[in-house]
Amino acid sequence: MRVWGVTRSGKGDHTHAEKILAVSELNEALPHADYVVIAAPETPETRHLIAAEQLGRMKRGGRLINVARGSLLDETALIAALKSGALGGAALDVTGIEPLPAESPLWNTPNLFITPHTSAISERLWERETELFLKLLDQWFSGKELSNRVDLSRGY
């Protein structure tokens, strides 16, 4: 598998990514992807980050996975792309309205897998959470700068 990442700046850790592009290059990257995973924060700039234009640039039969926030994806455009067969499938761990109402058209959309906002859950969840908590606690009591700090100036 070849992995490309997209960040605000186009910079990032290349340990697991062959290429990292700036978000301004997202539309050029989409036609190369078999799978697109949305894992960005919710900010005013990321609302409908993936909309009809972006879905239209994806490979026919491509797959989309959203584990971020429902507001990053235009669900109406996703439904249309799945119904037309332009996309081969999608998985949503988040939706614009949660819990997802019974009358939502997402429930009847072909090739759509919906989970109840549980993508972070694994057998190692509490182990990872405990490690992070202990690391932050050590940083706090040592007077060091805290990692994983919320950056309000960036909107998250």
Active centre residues (catalytic): 69, 98, 117
**Rounded distance between C-alpha atoms, residue 13 and residue 5, angstroms:** 9
Residue 54 and residue 81 in contact, taking contact as beta carbons nearer than 8 Å: no
3-class state of residue 98 by DSSP: coil
79 CB neighbour count, 10 Å cutoff? 18
SS3 label, residue 94:
coil
Q: Rounded to an integer, what distance in angstroms lies between the CA atom of residue 2 and that of residue 114?
A: 25
